[in-house]
Amino acid sequence: MHYVVTGAAGFIGSRLVGALNRAGISDILAVDDLENGAKAKNLASVEIEDYLDKREFLSQLETGRLDGGIEVILHQGACSDTMQTDGRYMMENNYAYSKSLFDWSQEEEVPFIYASSAAVYGPGKEFGETRENEDPLNVYAYSKFLFDQYVRKRLAGSTVQVAGLRYFNVYGPNEAHKGRMASVAFHAFNQYRAEGRVKLFEGSDGYGDGGQQRDFVHVDDAVSVNLWLLENREISGVFNCGTGHAQTFNVVAAAVINTAAGTEFSLDELVQKNFIEYIPFPPQLVGKYQSYTQADLSRLREAGYPGEFQRVEEGVAAYVRELLKA
């Protein structure tokens, strides 16, 4: 029986495959779209049983070739470009494709764990997993929001596990292929290596320079929640996946610089020494930017998740140490 991981060559997907391997699982069907061939190296260090293009995978599901052969679907694949304006592509790739996998899993009674996004909350300040808190700002966020709605309407009638994870700002190894959509920590590290400084946005939405706050979560902590759901298949629902603590971009930059340089400078010292530079807030992001996110973990904790999440000072530092080895 195959463990299916979609988006398996991507950021979270590849780390999830690696974690399954460490748990003794290698009968993995990796599903992805390798038009961006740079992602392939994320699979080179892990063990899988087979690989299928995402279109071929869907075709085989529809023709029944995989009936009875799948243990679980871990659906991590999606277009995560929040600046993508092609709504037709986004809805076909993120919404329609996800619906097809979900519908098949329901018919075949196969557990279905999927990636949602904190982008569904938009500019709000409340992050509980309820409809009144959801206000997507772009078509990416809307595609995730609409699929969550599709799932919610069918949860009561489901006889098998269905769980969605609303990832907050994930960072960590295996994200280099994401380009502009890679994490703040990744871009800060590359800026520091290239220029000896990190560029952050000036203040916006009432926040000071570099003071915008996000819930930054290490990819391996996000993977741990997926594994916990695999072990507890009686648990269904849509859950936030973050640390539960908002931290500033300044804190991320400081963790990157101090780890890379082997220093212990304060934020004020980093600014005074020009290690951090504040640049104008881009006008094209006005009204389309989440200046604050913080996962409400109440529902996840009530479901019984016992794991802890790394704060930026710990998680980003560990990530930078890995980047320095590359």
pLDDT value of position 119: 95
* Whether residues 183 and 228 fall in one domain: no
Please check whether residue 272 lies inside any domain of the structure: yes
* Whether residues 31 and 74 fall in one domain: yes
Q: For 175-191, give the DSSP string.
A: -GGGGGGS-HHHHHHHH
Average pLDDT, the chain: 95
Total tally of structural domains belonging to the chain: 2
* Whether residues 139 and 209 fall in one domain: no
* Whether residues 102 and 190 fall in one domain: no
**How confident is the model over 211-255, as pLDDT tens digits?**
999 999 999 999 999 999 999 999 999 999 999 999 999 999 999
* Whether residues 125 and 204 fall in one domain: no
pLDDT value of position 125: 93
* Whether residues 261 and 232 fall in one domain: no
The parent domain of residue 28 ranges over 2-170+219-242+296-310
**Token code pair at residue 199:** 């560029």
Q: Given the DSSP bridges, would you call strands 237-241 and 216-218 parallel, antiparallel or unpaired?
A: unpaired
pLDDT above 80: residue 24: yes
pLDDT value of position 85: 77
Please check whether residue 316 lies inside any domain of the structure: no
Q: CATH number of the domain at 164, please.
A: 3.40.50.720
Please check whether residue 315 lies inside any domain of the structure: no
Active-site positions read 140, 178
pTM for the whole structure? 0.96
pLDDT above 80: residue 84: no
* Whether residues 234 and 181 fall in one domain: no
* Whether residues 25 and 68 fall in one domain: yes
* Whether residues 259 and 165 fall in one domain: no
Q: CATH number of the domain at 282, please.
A: 3.90.25
Q: How many CB atoms lie within 10 A of CB 85?
A: 10
Q: For 18-36, give the DSSP string.
A: HHHHHTT---EEEEE-TTS
**How confident is the model over 302-326, as pLDDT tens digits?**
999 999 999 999 999 999 999 999 8
Q: For 78-115, give the DSSP string.
A: ----TT---HHHHIIIIIIHHHHHHHHHHHHT--EEEE
The pLDDT-based confidence of 145 (bands split at 50, 70, 90) is very high
**How confident is the model over 51-65, as pLDDT tens digits?**
999 999 999 999 999
